[in-house]
Amino acid sequence: MTWQKRWLRLTHVFFVILLLVQLLPDRSAKETAQGALIIFAIAVEVLTLLASAFIKRQESLALLLDIVGFIYVLLTVWSLATAKFNILNDVLFPAPGRVLAQFAEDREKILVNIASSLGITIEGFLLAAVVAVPLGLFLGWNARLGGAATYISKFFSSIPPIVYIPYGIALLPTFRSVSVFVIFLATFWPVFAGTMSGVLNVDRRIVDSAKVLNVSKPEMLFSVILPASLAQIFLGCNQGLSVSFILLTSAEMIGARDGMGYYVKYYSDFGDYTRTITGLLVIGIVVIAVTFLFNKLQQYLLRWKR
Amino acid sequence: MSTNKIEIKHLTVNYTENKRSFNALHDVSFGVKDGEFVSVIGASGCGKSTLLSVLEGIYQAAGGTVEIDGKELHGTGTERGVVFQHYSLFPWMTTRNNIAFGIKQAQHGLKRSERLRIADEYLGKVGLTGFGSKYPSQLSGGMQQRAAIARALAMNTEILLMDEPFSAIDAKNRVILQELLLSLWEGDGKEPRKTVVFVTHDIDEAILLSDRIVVLTAHPGTVNEIVEVPFARPRNRAELVKTDAYGQFRNKLLSLLYCDVAERIGGEEVVI
């Protein structure tokens, strides 16, 4: 990479424009917390410059700079439309600085809510995976039961898991257990179906290869069929994970006492739209982070694939 | 006849495809002596791979029996090592772990460190030192087959079944692998040689490697003839192919392979 490619990028121009825009006088009567925005922008820029010095692959650098550039443009337009020209309703649309300041102010509350949401998701998800994968392996491998199981799982997975919530509330004592139950159901069927179809699609030649090695039945299932169908299992897991977030945040908006969905719903009921937007952004960041980590795990476990 | 290591008696195999059943092998009988290298050749569709599947224990015969050491064969067994054309190795295990996994199946009770040591030893024998931590997808087709052979040998089975192991390899590497297999099978003369059944459609490969060649004809697969290979070991490919005897023997096999083709086509000109 030439030094021009590394350092002379449009993203940095956007950064300067964002700062220059902050020199304009505020027109909004509300607090705009411009300082928070400037501190945030400088922090992002410093991190980006540091990363630019170390990233080796040109594509990775371009990706990072494009994303950061997008954030600068978004913040510029946002602060122009709110704080600087007051085009939008300033109750419904807080200035970017206020959201950032809110983020800092509420950080402990936000962390508690994230921990609550993630705890429920992970618990329901892991329970589902631990039950669905072995069951899918076993039923998929036993051809006779497998056919019926495919149709049964199609039936149950066609029921949107959110409709279980009222019944779950009647059935289970706490909101937390209802949430875990619903996430369990939401994850179980896609993971189960993914495992089944993975098992049914394992290359005949791999099965033969294992048979001639005289592997025991548990070894056949867990050392051969499981890794051979892992890609499809992950497909089901990814599906389950994304449905889980939708469900959990919806459920939290209905009856929870904490969680990210609760945070958004609670403050929008009070007309505190700064916190509402803060909550939305946090949910986005958390979901991206979890998906990213999960994809890393998937890449690691499937590293033997071409 | 009880001295044979493998005894195939009146073997008949039916194959079902698209709900139509047809006779893949009909009344096939031959024996393989202990320490003998026997190739099975035939045109595609003659049932040679089906025959090997029965010996491997993954395909059921409709009639007849296969005996190993006088005992009737039922299912798979650890006295037989197998090399396939594809997917002998598990793609999710490194080369070393693939071999160690094979050893674990053949010899229960060996420590993991001991299995890995044997795996490395056999990787060395097939010229793959330093490739133990690679996954099969990171190796060329030829290297994958080397590793597959290493696994079959490391399992230390008395019988080796090979189903067109070199058919998907380019011509140059195929020759190298044939010579590697030959030298590993011949060994240093101290250990008894393994009994090998080797399926191929490559006549030259069969001649170079085998003590005897079983020629199958198709529809249904039957033994056309069993031919003794008249060339002394150790064989040198480059020298051997230049001799007249080699050419004559090769032609004889060719005519055995394709005589039935000419008959069935019914006198029309056949270009082989």
CATH number, domain with residue B58: 3.40.50.300
pLDDT digits (tens, 9 = 90+) for A138-188: 998 887 677 788 888 888 888 888 888 888 888 999 888 988 998 999 999
Tokens of A115: 């921990």
* pLDDT given for residue B263 in this prediction: 56
Residues of B in contact with A305 (CB under 8 A): 91, 137
* pLDDT given for residue A130 in this prediction: 96
Chain B residue with minimum CA distance to A227: B92
**Within a domain: residue B216?**
yes
pTM, entire model: 0.84
**Within a domain: residue B47?**
yes
| Count of domains forming chain B | 1
Contact A206 B80 (CB under 8 A): no
Contact A224 B88 (CB under 8 A): no
Q: How confident is the model at residue B234 (pLDDT cuts 50, 70, 90)?
A: confident
Tokens of A129: 């995976």
pLDDT digits (tens, 9 = 90+) for A71-102: 999 999 999 999 888 888 888 889 999 999 99
Contacts (Cβ under 8 Å, ≥6 apart) of B205: B39, B166, B174, B178
Residues of B in contact with A214 (CB under 8 A): 76-78, 105-106
ipTM summary value: 0.85
Q: How far apart, in Å, are the Cα atoms of A40 and each of A75, A96, A123?
A: 11, 10, 34
**Within a domain: residue B165?**
no
Per-residue pLDDT, averaged over B23-50, amounts to 87
Domain ranges of chain A: 3-104, 107-301
Specify which residues B198 forms β-bridges with.
B39, B162
* pLDDT given for residue B265 in this prediction: 54
Three-state secondary structure of B45-84: CCCHHHHHHHHHCCCCCCEEEEEECCEECCCCCCCEEEEC
Q: Measure the CA–CA gap between A54 and A61, rounded to whole angstroms.
A: 9
**Within a domain: residue B104?**
no
Contact A205 B78 (CB under 8 A): no
Per-residue pLDDT at B270 exceeds 50: no
**Within a domain: residue B109?**
no
Per-residue pLDDT at A16 exceeds 60: yes
Per-residue pLDDT at A13 exceeds 80: yes
Contact A211 B57 (CB under 8 A): yes
Q: Which of A214, A303, A305 sits opposite B76 (nearest CB)?
A: A214
User: Quick one: fold of A107-301?
Assistant: MetI-like fold (1.10.3720)
Chain A residue with minimum CA distance to B138: A306
Tokens of A55: 């990233």
Residue with tokens 């067109």: B164
Side chain identity at residue B8, one-letter code? I
* pLDDT given for residue A164 in this prediction: 86
Q: Measure the CA–CA gap between A132 and A118, rounded to whole angstroms.
A: 20
Identify which of A175, A183, A83 has the alpha carbon closest to the alpha carbon of residue A123. A183
Q: Which domain holds residue B253?
A: 1-79+191-272
Chain A residue with minimum CA distance to B89: A209
Going through chain B in order, the beta strands assigned E by DSSP cover 4-17, 20-33, 37-41, 63-68, 71-72, 80-83, 159-163, 195-200, 212-217, 222-228
Q: Measure the CA–CA gap between A71 and A44, rounded to whole angstroms.
A: 10
Residues of B in contact with A212 (CB under 8 A): 56-58, 76, 80, 82, 161
Q: Measure the CA–CA gap between A30 and B14, rounded to whole angstroms.
A: 85
* Contact between residue A137 and residue A197 where contact means Cβ atoms under 8 Å apart: no
Chain B residue with minimum CA distance to A219: B105
Contact B76 A212 (CB under 8 A): yes
Q: How confident is the model at residue B220 (pLDDT cuts 50, 70, 90)?
A: confident
Contact B82 A209 (CB under 8 A): yes
pLDDT digits (tens, 9 = 90+) for A234-273: 999 999 998 999 888 888 888 778 899 999 999 999 999 9
- State the greatest distance between any 2 C-alpha atoms of chain A, in Å, as a whole number: 79
Contact B91 A215 (CB under 8 A): no
Q: Measure the CA–CA gap between A285 and B167, rounded to whole angstroms.
A: 52
Q: Which of B92, B105, B135 sits opposite A213 (nearest CB)?
A: B105
Chain B residue with minimum CA distance to A205: B87
